[in-house]
Amino acid sequence: MPVVIDNWGNPVTISEQRLDDFYRTHSLDEYYAELTNRAKAGLIEEFDWRAARAEREAKNAAAAPSAEIKQPARKSRPVTTGKWTRWP
């Protein structure tokens, strides 16, 4: 299928662009029905949202810093501002 660049600079196929136009001009129920029909006809691949979400959450959990990292102890020293000395 020929590839075009959409309004955001992403490469999309002509069928995806037409599907995007379909989404703008029809109700959400009609859009999902059209997605289902195209997936059944083999025109587009079905996307497993749950697997993608689980994969994204696993990647985010691996990239997140561990909660066990300890902060260095703060050194307490007096703050002198002229006449008065205060402790933080």
User: Are 14 and 4 within 8 A, CB to CB?
Assistant: yes
In order along its 88 residues, the chain shows pLDDT tens digits of 456 565 666 666 656 666 677 667 777 777 777 777 777 777 666 666 677 778 888 887 777 666 666 666 666 666 666 666 565 5
Please provide the DSSP assignment of 22-58 as one string: HHHHS-HHHHHHHHHHHHHHTSS----HHHHHHHHHH
Which pTM was predicted? 0.32
C-alpha to C-alpha distances, 69 to 20, 28, 52, 65, 66, nearest whole angstrom: 46, 46, 29, 8, 6
